[in-house]
Amino acid sequence: MKKMLTLCVIVLLSYPSFSQNDISSKAKALLAKMTLEEKLGQLNLIIPGGAAVTGSVVSTDVESKIKSGKVGGLFGFWGPDQIRKAQDLAVKNTRLHIPMIFGLDIIHGHKTIFPIPLGLAASWDMGLIEQSAKIAALEGTADGLNWAFSPMVDIARDARWGRISEGSGEDPYLGGEIAKAMVRGYQGTDLSKNNTLMACVKHFALYGGAEAGREYNTVDMSRIKMYEYYLPPYKAAVDAGAGSFMSSFNEIDGVPATGNKWLLTDLLRKQWGFKGFVVSDYTSLNEMVNHGVGDLQTVSAQSLKAGLDMDMVGEGLLNTLGKSLKEGKVSMADIDQACLRILEGKFKLGLFDDPYRYIDETRPAKDILTPANRAAARNIAAHSMVLLKNDKQLLPLKKSGTIALVGPLADNKRNMLGTWVVAGDWKQSVSVLEGIKNVAGNSINIITAKGANFTNDTALFLKRVNALGVEAEIDPRSSADMIDEAVAAANKADVVVAVVGETSNMSGEAASRADISIPASQQDLLKALAKTGKPLVIVLFNGRPLTLVWENEHAHAILDVWAPGTEGGNAIADVLFGNYNPSGKITATFPRSVGQIPIYYNHKTTGRPFDGTGFPKYKSNYLDESNDPLYPFGYGLSYTKFEYSPVMLSKTNLKGEEKLTATVTLTNAGKYAGEEVVQLYITDPVASVTRAVKDLKGFQKIMLQPGESKEISFVITTEQLSFYNSELKKIWEPGKFIVHIGTNSSNVQSAELQWSK
């Protein structure tokens, strides 16, 4: 019966199969048949009740709106049966049978959850990152979806901002490479296939620049800083063919992004050539009223004219554009343009070919949480982990003796997945305890103790963290009792593994923190464990860089596992016991203290640079803190030891559009096979505008066996020397350049060259 109906609808609609080239003319032909109300309906994206809600407004009367053609797409729910019902409402009841688009926050996996994006970035492995998005697309489409609100490519230099966890960190070049890999992974080479999702690049733009790291706060930055450091990942996503963009909550140059013509039209479409459609963030259009730029009718007209095509939840476009049209505040051409872009998106997805293309009730069982998907998640999670400290080669642990496994995250499934997992089920995840048992259980003795609650600030902090449901359960025992139990376990063990840090929702949206240390209850536990004198390994869960000065001094080893996803426990055990030698490198600087923020490696020299020695007055420094971070960008250790030769340049005097090759010999001088992320940075010491002390310009992830050496080369062209000048023109200027290659942004080998025009 279902099949019959589908067939009828297809015959009725008689939409042929199109090449990308005729999409625009087909969409125009359809548009010509549409009434004003039908066009406005296409601009409307709403959320059915019971779906994940990230704002105060929820859509009402969803079913009758769909039937009357007032809805272009739905988001926030999944499952072929549910989506079929919804698609039926649109396709069978509306005059032109236009299918809806179905979106979801698929951020780091759909049901097989991968590490949070900041962790994925730490792998520096574009193949694995692409694979994670490809699996997410396979699972998302198996659940009836065709649109992912991802990748988030916002550059962030402020670890107080909770959403630093959802992006790639602080570097525009790495961020751009990751943006491309994610778009490739979601969209593949053919958006109309039933296993690819349309990407929605967000949040356009500069959302990560929120003042003081406070969520939804004002952004204000110079154009040079935007072009050089914040915009490149969005541009990279356009170049990779991303089908849609989401506007951000913040303002830019005093104009909210959702209604910012410079941003959505001049930059995105005219300068960058973006051909897809732009959706607002959740009620960001309505929030322009709060920003203070006009009433709902005014901001809706402004946004449409600025280049916004679709309105998420707030229904400002749906409800006010008719009036604005009558009053001459918008034209039919403005409305047509937005509607056309959405129709084109649906044509690209193949929805006019078959509105039910992504709906197949047999697929979830075949494609979701399969052993293959889980194996990939385990491998990718292991690659994302960063070894921050490893005194006297404490790690990897031997698969013998007694381990005291303590801490609130040691035997906890709920917080493995991290922030923004709408469809992920924490019950599917592998805890650290389970992972250790799986990997080494038969040969070691494990004593467990919780040791501490996530926080003792139950009144305020915990309430906010648990706002979406209980993820941080509170043990009723006193702190002292819990610590005593953990210390007793430690005293009986050969090594202590303390699994501590942030719960999943201590980072993410609306999770800014003014203090980014490990909560005090857990610090007290660590201090008591350190006093036992037993070797202490910290397994750190975190959605952002944390301040870890004490931990770095007192723990013998620290393994940063972020929020590692469904297979997290197994992946952690793989790394702890040496089945996988860690290769991750941090992509956001870890400050020593919160007062150093914003702290990032590609900073300017200033007119009074401080060289780090002594306590000189009138230099760019602090009275009470070093300028140095705790861990610099690109930092991460391995169980083996990598040695770098000096940098060899194929030429040191170049002219015009010549190129050179910079080479180092990398040697694995340790005992373990391992991967190293070899990083290329360039300094332009004198230019017509001030430049950063260095900028990442390339990287390669290299696997070496013990004793093996390899020459690693980077080709350098004038492209890597170029920058935006005061007129925002991308240029390069002749002179001296310094090429650095090394293991992180601070530890490099350098060589100089001269380049003339």
Q: What are the counts of helices (DSSP H) followed by strands (DSSP E) for the chain?
A: 23, 27
Task: Please say which residue, 283 or 455, places its beta carbon nearer to ligand NOJ.
Answer: 283
CA distances from 201 to 62, 216, 217, 242, 277 (A): 26, 18, 20, 7, 11
**Taking the complex as a whole, how short is the minimal distance between the CB of residue 199 and ligand NOJ, in angstroms?**
12
- Among the listed residues 520, 521, 559, 567, the one whose alpha carbon sits nearest the alpha carbon of residue 542: 559
Task: Please say which residue, 314 or 582, places its beta carbon nearer to ligand NOJ.
Answer: 314
**Taking the complex as a whole, how short is the minimal distance between the CB of residue 226 and ligand NOJ, in angstroms?**
20
| Residue 484 annotated to the active site | no
- Among the listed residues 116, 227, 207, the one whose alpha carbon sits nearest the alpha carbon of residue 587: 116
| Whole-number Å distance between alpha carbons of 584 and 376 | 16
**Taking the complex as a whole, how short is the minimal distance between the CB of residue 203 and ligand NOJ, in angstroms?**
6
- Among the listed residues 125, 148, 156, 181, the one whose alpha carbon sits nearest the alpha carbon of residue 75: 148
Q: Which of 161, 282, 562, 737 binds ligand NOJ (CB under 6 A)?
A: 282
Residue 347 backbone phi and psi in degrees, to 5 = -65, -45
Task: Please say which residue, 54 or 650, places its beta carbon nearer to ligand NOJ.
Answer: 54
**Taking the complex as a whole, how short is the minimal distance between the CB of residue 202 and ligand NOJ, in angstroms?**
5
**Taking the complex as a whole, how short is the minimal distance between the CB of residue 509 and ligand NOJ, in angstroms?**
6
Q: Show the binding pattern over residues 482-521: x = contacts ligand NOJ (CB under 6 A), - = does not.
A: ---------------------------x------------
Task: Please say which residue, 47 or 406, places its beta carbon nearer to ligand NOJ.
Answer: 47
Would you say 255 and 283 are in contact if contact means Cβ atoms under 8 Å apart?
Answer: no
Angle at which helices 172-187 and 232-239 pack, to 10 degrees? 30
**Taking the complex as a whole, how short is the minimal distance between the CB of residue 105 and ligand NOJ, in angstroms?**
5
Task: Please say which residue, 314 or 742, places its beta carbon nearer to ligand NOJ.
Answer: 314
Would you say 679 and 747 are in contact if contact means Cβ atoms under 8 Å apart?
Answer: no
- Among the listed residues 462, 468, 467, the one whose alpha carbon sits nearest the alpha carbon of residue 422: 468
| Whole-number Å distance between alpha carbons of 286 and 288 | 5
Q: What share of the chain is helix, strand, coil (3-state, %, to 5)?
A: 35, 20, 45
Q: Show the binding pattern over residues 562-581: x = contacts ligand NOJ (CB under 6 A), - = does not.
A: --------------------
Q: How many residues bind ligand NOJ (CB under 6 A)?
A: 7
Task: Please say which residue, 5 or 510, places its beta carbon nearer to ligand NOJ.
Answer: 510
- Among the listed residues 168, 322, 333, 314, the one whose alpha carbon sits nearest the alpha carbon of residue 234: 168
Q: What residues form DSSP beta bridges with 101?
A: 73
Q: Which of 6, 34, 84, 105 binds ligand NOJ (CB under 6 A)?
A: 105
Task: Please say which residue, 268 or 558, places its beta carbon nearer to ligand NOJ.
Answer: 268
Does position 54 bind ligand NOJ by CB under 6 A?
A: yes
| Whole-number Å distance between alpha carbons of 671 and 478 | 45
Contacts of 368 (CB under 8 A, 6+ apart): 110, 111, 112, 139, 142, 143
Would you say 522 and 432 are in contact if contact means Cβ atoms under 8 Å apart?
Answer: no
Q: Which of 88, 105, 158, 281 is catalytic?
A: 281
**Taking the complex as a whole, how short is the minimal distance between the CB of residue 457 and ligand NOJ, in angstroms?**
26
Contacts of 425 (CB under 8 A, 6+ apart): 111
| Whole-number Å distance between alpha carbons of 422 and 643 | 43
Does position 695 bind ligand NOJ by CB under 6 A?
A: no
Task: Please say which residue, 73 or 582, places its beta carbon nearer to ligand NOJ.
Answer: 73
CA distances from 340 to 32, 68, 276, 351, 566 (A): 10, 19, 10, 15, 40
Strands in 55-157 per DSSP E:
73-75, 101-104, 147-148
**Taking the complex as a whole, how short is the minimal distance between the CB of residue 145 and ligand NOJ, in angstroms?**
13
Would you say 404 and 534 are in contact if contact means Cβ atoms under 8 Å apart?
Answer: yes
**Taking the complex as a whole, how short is the minimal distance between the CB of residue 519 and ligand NOJ, in angstroms?**
25
> 147-148 and 101-104: which strand pairing?
parallel
Task: Please say which residue, 54 or 82, places its beta carbon nearer to ligand NOJ.
Answer: 54
Q: Which of 143, 177, 281, 309 binds ligand NOJ (CB under 6 A)?
A: 281
Residue 340 backbone phi and psi in degrees, to 5 = -60, -45
- Among the listed residues 246, 203, 210, 206, the one whose alpha carbon sits nearest the alpha carbon of residue 225: 206
Task: Please say which residue, 233 or 396, places its beta carbon nearer to ligand NOJ.
Answer: 233
Applying the rule CB under 6 A, the residues between 347 and 366 that interact with ligand NOJ are: none
Q: Where are the alpha helices (DSSP H) in 512-624?
A: 520-531, 549-554, 568-576
Does position 149 bind ligand NOJ by CB under 6 A?
A: yes
Task: Please say which residue, 199 or 571, places its beta carbon nearer to ligand NOJ.
Answer: 199
**Taking the complex as a whole, how short is the minimal distance between the CB of residue 240 and ligand NOJ, in angstroms?**
19
| Whole-number Å distance between alpha carbons of 670 and 117 | 30
Q: Which residues are catalytic?
A: 281
Task: Summarize as ranges the residues that interact with ligand NOJ (CB under 6 A).
Answer: 54, 105, 149, 202, 281-282, 509
